[in-house]
Amino acid sequence: MVTFIKAQAASLAATIVDFAVTIILVEVFHCWYLAASVIGTISGGVANFVLGRRWVFKATEKGIPIQAIKYLLVWMGNLVLVSGGVYVVTNYGRINYVLSKILVSVVIGATYNYLMQKRFVFK
């Protein structure tokens, strides 16, 4: 349970990075919300990898390249799921992009991301 809580805290920190980048790109630089979401997801992914490797799963004894490749594979799935979910919820649900990103990110983070990182990337 402690690992799950730490993983959710790391996910929250990565989400803050993700959302900050997304919102700044949309609101300050007037980027298209979906492009900004992708860039935000990349930024959050880097933060989450570092926190997951060092703090959550304490998996620093294994080589970074192997973990990074595994993480990249999982992260690409995350990118597709989150970006696709944001697009669907924003366009078809007529919900603000920030709210749709929150909803989709919470669902994907607590299910797909946690399980794949625990059982595949940092096992």
pLDDT in tens, the chain (123 residues): 899 999 989 989 998 999 899 999 999 999 999 899 889 989 998 999 999 999 999 888 888 899 999 999 998 998 899 899 999 999 999 999 889 989 998 899 889 998 999 999 988
Domain count of the fold of the chain: 1
User: Which of 40, 33, 27, 58 shows the shortest CA–CA distance to 122?
Assistant: 58
d(CA 49, CA 64): 10
d(CA 51, CA 58): 9
User: Domain of 55?
Assistant: 2-121
Structure tokens at 74: 């999982």
pTM of the model: 0.75
Q: State residue 67's pLDDT score.
A: 92
Angle at 41 between CA 106 and CA 14, to 5 degrees: 60
Q: What's the DSSP call for residue 52?
A: I
